[in-house]
Amino acid sequence: MPNSIDPMIVRMARAIAASQGTTDWKPYITTARASLNAIREPSDEMLEAASGGMPDWGELPKEWRAMIDFVIGEGDETNDNKPLPRAARDVG
């Protein structure tokens, strides 16, 4: 069962592992990071939902990317907390 103390990347990997019928979450860290890279850029609909109808999104896109980038870098000393290059994010 995920623990709220676990880093978000670990919680994501645990959820992916559980969806595959296993408790071994470590092999799913890469999948969790790839999933985060897929949502690194918020959609207009996401920004509208978060802005409460305000016409200007202000810093929301920047704040969203900062949060995603932080989670991408969690739990891996070899990861320098940077998202995948754009070409890698745009695949698929």
pLDDT of residue 89: 42
Structure tokens at 14: 């645990």
CA angle 8, 13, 16 (to 5 degrees): 125
pLDDT averaged over every residue in the chain: 80
Identify the band that residue 3 occupies on the pLDDT scale cut at 50, 70 and 90: low
Half-sphere exposure of 7 (CA within 13 A, CB side): 17
Residue range 29-55, pLDDT digits in tens: 999 999 999 999 999 898 888 888 777
The reply to whether 2 falls in a domain is no
18 or 92, which is more confident: 18
**What's at 35, amino acid-wise?**
S
The domain tally of the chain equals: 1
- The pTM score is 0.69
Residue 39 forms part of a structural domain: yes
In-domain check, residue 1: no
**Lookup result for tokens 């870098």:** 73
What is the span of the domain harbouring residue 24?
8-89
Domain assignment present for 30: yes
- Say if 3 falls within a structural domain: no
Count CA within 13 A, CB hemisphere, residue 56.
Answer: 2
**Whole-number pLDDT of residue 85:** 43
